[in-house]
Amino acid sequence: MDIKVTTLDGKAAGSVSLNAGVFGLEPREDILHRMVRYQRAKKQAGTHKTKGRSEIRGTTKKMYRQKGTGGARHGNKKVPQFRGGGRAFGPVVRDHAHDLPKKVRALALKHALSAKVKAEQLIVIDKAALEKPQTGELRKQLTGLGWTSALIVDGREVDGNFKLAARNIPHVDVLPVQGINVYDILRRETLVLTKAAIEELEARFQ
């Protein structure tokens, strides 16, 4: 399939042919959902922690005698049902990451790219480079192109001036092709790929 190539100034720059095996699949929501869950779980810190009854500082003396008080029988005050006691089955420090086969992860990236093509939200530009790192000028260009929420993916190396100019623009992310991922693709409305990024992606999946 062919797609038009544009420049940051909105001018035509020819066209490029996309590999149907990478950009022409029928998107499957279940695979995309599995991949997003995998990424989010892997990123979760898992540092939440509460103290159990064995970690509470206090006496282990029995509160009052076993019988004759008319109340329920209790031991020490560190049990969960009393104020200041330990938490029963509370969260502990742990890793939330889970496994996902490598082939499923690769397939999920193809489906994410194909989903953008099907939704007509994939834009191809000749290059992402600026002469000067001016955020205001780049913002005007992106606004003129209608890219209010965009992920811009370049080749192996991102132009330094472009990266500096884009980092303070809300809802605009810039990544090298090595960092492209399903979650960032789906959370931005428009996916912008350079010609170099397309070549690297198609070479990766060959």
The pLDDT value recorded for residue 1 is 82
Give the predicted TM-score (pTM) of the model: 0.84
Query: Are 14 and 70 in the same domain?
Result: no
pLDDT in tens, 66-87: 999 999 999 999 999 999 999 9
What is the length of the chain? 206
3-state DSSP helix/strand/coil % of the chain, to nearest 5: 35, 15, 50
The pLDDT value recorded for residue 65 is 95
Domain that holds residue 54: 50-90
pLDDT in tens, 42-64: 999 999 999 999 999 999 999 99
> Which of 60, 90, 120 is the last residue in one of the domains?
90
State residue 43 phi and psi, 5-degree precision.
-85, -20
Query: Are 169 and 69 in the same domain?
Result: no
Q: How many domains does the chain have?
A: 2
Query: Are 7 and 54 in the same domain?
Result: no
Query: Are 104 and 180 in the same domain?
Result: yes
Average pLDDT, stretch 150-164?
94
Of all residues in the chain, what percent carry a pLDDT higher than 70? Answer: 100
The pLDDT value recorded for residue 194 is 95
Query: Are 26 and 69 in the same domain?
Result: no
Query: Are 105 and 71 in the same domain?
Result: no
